[in-house]
Amino acid sequence: MRILIIGSGGREHAIAWAFHRSSTPTTLFIAPGNGGTHQVGTNVELDISRAEEVVRFVEDTGIELVVIGPEQPLVDGLADTLRRVGTPVVGPSAAAARLEGSKAFSKDFMQRHGIPTAAYRSFERDQLDDALAFVRTEGAPIVVKASGLAAGKGAIVCETLKDAEAALMDLLGEGLLGDAASTVVVESFMHGEEASLFVLTDGQDFVLLPTAQDHKRIGEGDTGPNTGGMGAYAPAPVMTEDLIREAVTRIVQPTLTGMQSEGYPYQGILYVGLMITPDGPKVVEYNCRLGDPETQVVLPMLDCDVVQLFHGLATGTLNSVNVAVHQGASACVVMASAGYPGAYEKGKDIHGLDADNTDDCIVFHAGTRKTDVGWVTSGGRVLAVSARGQNLKEALDKAYGRLSRITFEGATFRRDIGHKGLERTDQLL
């Protein structure tokens, strides 16, 4: 099967890797791809923001399946354009991708369908005074979110009223995030532990992938600024079987039937960011794609043919696909450039990448570039070292063991990935 994967991160390398080890013979193209995807397929220099350029490549190359990794092309309608020309695609329509692309839409949608989430109010650019009055009434902690896509910078958890006022002045007053924050959602702070739930749906049926937990802050002990994600593990022990069932009944099913009844049937991957509160699971946010770095732990947990799974999603035949999951755990640790998530330098030599990947230990590339003399860094998040084991401790030991043999100047990583999971399963010795 000839497959095109859209994107250039660790997530897209993980998707390409899972397809490459699938029992379905594939020819993989990745646009634009990265140093890692180049090892399992052909990187293609396409401008993915130009749908007509993608369609031309799909038609000229005889592509039979397109997987769209990042949110921006989904929100821009790339999946709609591809479906119009008859190409099976993994990714929702632009109308359905509003669940991620517009926080104001998703909060209103959850309210219409009684889906548990934090209480909220939305404010437009000309309502700064109303928004300030609202946070002064509500008090802190409180969360201020840009409604639109803001590359992970749009959700500000405000510990004090002063922080909340400053966030509103920045977003609504100064226009700091531009159009992404022309509407701002202010919502109550939820107490609890976060977990990620991944739903694959073909518009009729759905399957769940293993749950995962991400580590968003740069510093150990969940300190410092937010990042795209510094590591992850799967499954997340906080998501017990009972909680998964509750999340399916109270969140996943009403979301899918709600989208259907409103005329935007969801066909793609729905990533539900959950807070496990004392009142049960509540939605922090929806994403219309797989997570990064959660994909780097969730796909290695699948002992089934991932090409068939994604093709089933794209062709409305998910009910005929078997999902088999490894009965252990997986973990990944992200290695980042010094300074990330702020300014960082590129072009640092990377050593220790020559060891072969195995089914149980894989180095996924994100910000790397191959030069004539070897690998160099080319991004903030550089690599995700991923491993699976019989349990979380074994997976973490393998990942950190492999990571210890990789070096580059200023390499930054967290040493406490998976600690909450180890505590919950009594593996923290």
Q: Candidates 38-46, 106-114, 218-226, 284-292: pick the segment binding ligand GLY (CB under 6 A).
A: 284-292
Give 248's contacts (C-beta < 8 A, 6+ positions apart).
Answer: 208
Give 169's contacts (C-beta < 8 A, 6+ positions apart).
Answer: 128
Smallest separation, CB 308 to ligand GLY (Å)? 24
Q: Crossing angle, helix 161-168 and helix 128-138, to 10 degrees?
A: 170
* Nearer residue to ligand GLY within complex by CB, 35 or 229: 229
* Nearer residue to ligand GLY within complex by CB, 231 or 265: 231
* Nearer residue to ligand GLY within complex by CB, 187 or 292: 292
Smallest separation, CB 285 to ligand GLY (Å)? 8
CA 403 – CA 361 distance, rounded (Å) = 10
Quick note: the x/- pattern for ligand GLY over 229-248, rule CB under 6 A, is x-------------------
Smallest separation, CB 149 to ligand GLY (Å)? 11
75 three-class SS: helix
The answer to whether residues 156 and 169 touch, using CB atoms and an 8 Å cutoff, is no
* Structure-token pair, residue 18: 């899972």
Smallest separation, CB 407 to ligand GLY (Å)? 25
100 is a site residue for ligand GLY (CB under 6 A): no
* Nearer residue to ligand GLY within complex by CB, 292 or 305: 292
C-beta atoms surrounding 53 within 10 Å:
13
* Nearer residue to ligand GLY within complex by CB, 101 or 291: 291
CA 267 – CA 96 distance, rounded (Å) = 8
Quick note: the x/- pattern for ligand GLY over 285-324, rule CB under 6 A, is --x---xx-x------------------------------
Smallest separation, CB 156 to ligand GLY (Å)? 16
Backbone angles phi, psi at 59, to 5 degrees: -75, -45
| The CA-based dihedral angle spanning residues 52, 57, 295, 297, taken in that order and rounded to the nearest 10 degrees | -170
CA 372 – CA 402 distance, rounded (Å) = 24
Smallest separation, CB 291 to ligand GLY (Å)? 3
Smallest separation, CB 212 to ligand GLY (Å)? 9
Backbone angles phi, psi at 199, to 5 degrees: -115, 125
CA 208 – CA 231 distance, rounded (Å) = 21
Q: Which residues pair with 3 in a beta bridge?
A: 28, 65
* Nearer residue to ligand GLY within complex by CB, 58 or 234: 234
* Nearer residue to ligand GLY within complex by CB, 165 or 294: 294
Rounded-to-5 percentages of helix, strand, coil across the chain:
35, 30, 40
Quick note: the x/- pattern for ligand GLY over 114-153, rule CB under 6 A, is ----------------------------------------
Of 195-224, which residues contact ligand GLY (CB under 6 A)? 214
Number of residues interacting with ligand GLY: please give it, by CB under 6 A.
Answer: 6
Smallest separation, CB 357 to ligand GLY (Å)? 22
* Nearer residue to ligand GLY within complex by CB, 43 or 213: 213
Q: Crossing angle, helix 103-112 and helix 94-101, to 10 degrees?
A: 100
* Nearer residue to ligand GLY within complex by CB, 348 or 420: 420
Quick one: which H or E segment has residue 274? strand 268-277
Smallest separation, CB 317 to ligand GLY (Å)? 27
The answer to whether residues 7 and 68 touch, using CB atoms and an 8 Å cutoff, is yes
* Structure-token pair, residue 428: 């923290």
Output the DSSP codes for 174-240.
S-TTGGGGSEEEEEE---SEEEEEEEEE-SS-EEEPPPBEE--EEETTTEEEE-S-SEEEES-TTS-
CA 117 – CA 107 distance, rounded (Å) = 8
Smallest separation, CB 59 to ligand GLY (Å)? 31
* Nearer residue to ligand GLY within complex by CB, 202 or 214: 214
* Nearer residue to ligand GLY within complex by CB, 116 or 231: 231
> Which residues would be at the binding site for ligand GLY (CB under 6 A)?
214, 229, 287, 291-292, 294
